[in-house]
Structure formats: C-alpha cells, structure tokens
Amino acid sequence: MEASEISTRIKDHRNKTDLSQDQLAIESGLNLRTIQRIENGETVPRGDSLRRLAIALGTSPDELINWKTKEDKNVLTVLILSQLSFIAFPVLGIVVPLIIWIMQKEKVKNVDEVGKSILNFQITWALIVFTIITVGAFFKIMHINIGIPSSFLLTFGMIFYVYNIFIIVLNTILNQKDKYLFYKPAIRILN
C-alpha cells in the first residue's frame, strides 16, 4: 500500500474518533511531527509506530494498512495435520506447525489464532510426555521402586500419544465443518 493510502486511512480514523493530531500524538506516544509526516504521506508507519497508532485509534494495524487476508481452509487443514509429525519425533509436532504458522499467520484468515492454540497444546503435550519419560528413567536409573511398574508409565505415555492423534483428527473434522476447535489441556504460552 502506498503512503498516501495509509495516510488517508489514518487521517479518516483520527477524524472518526474526534482526535486532533496533538491528541493522537499523546495517545500513541509518537511525536507530533511524526503524526504530521504520516498524515501528509511523507512517511509510512511500520512496526511499533503502526501498532501504537492502531491502539490509539481503537483499531488494528491490519485495518490501517488494509492488508487483506484470504480465507483458505486447506492451509488450516495442513496446519492442523502438520502436528502429526510428532509421531516421528515429539518436538516436530511443535516445529512443523510453528513454521507454517509463521509463514501464513498474516496471509490466511484464522491461521494466527489456530496456530497459537496448536502450539500451546503441542508444547503442553510435549512437556507432559517429557516429564513422564524423565521421571520413569530417573526412577529406573536410581533403582527407586515406587510401586508403579514401568509398563504402567509406558502405557500412560502411549495414552498421551493416542490422545494427541485423537485431538488432531477431531480438529481436522471440526475445521472442515467450520466448528470451534478443541485444544485441551494447554498451557497458554502464546496469547
């Protein structure tokens, strides 16, 4: 988008919110001269400046620069199914969705929200499985008998693997039906 288009959108948003340039400068924490240069099309706000302007104007950066995200269920489906890479190696269930999320979060509608849910779930899942394996290995190495057979820990770990696969399949189906996706339990790491 050209500087003149962005300047027009920012000026329109400022006028709709009944803010003067001085007030917008104060609300956004930007210099008055910066606001004037942006509105005159002399400069294009990026990064933190764009975010500050959006917050001060009660909108989003996307709205100000008019980025268009497309709706693509196939990308969401690939993102959801990419979690199955955990079968080969548990960390891949985080890395592969992370790569897709980073590449598509600003291009495809709902990828940002779904990606964060997936990553929170997969990180939580990996931590649980890692803890089970570590505790089991520690007790085995230290010859500590807590009355729980190692086969129980292995079975417990396998239940978590099956649960992860179930959640992935369930969410693939829910995504195809435009339903709310279910990722529980999940520690909120990414907001």
* Across 25-39, 111-125, 142-156, least confident range: 142-156
Determine the CATH number of domain 3-65. Answer: 1.10.260.40
Cβ of 79: how many Cβ atoms within 10 Å? 25
pLDDT tops 90 at residue 80: yes
Question: CA geometry: angle at 4 spanning 64 and 12, to 5°?
Answer: 50
Cβ-based neighbours of 104, under 8 Å, separated by 6 or more: 75, 79, 111, 115
pTM above 0.75, yes or no: no
Q: What is the mean pLDDT of residues 37-60?
A: 88
pLDDT tops 60 at residue 1: no
Percent of the chain whose pLDDT exceeds 90: 45
Within the chain, which residue ranges are assigned CATH 1.10.260.40? Answer: 3-65
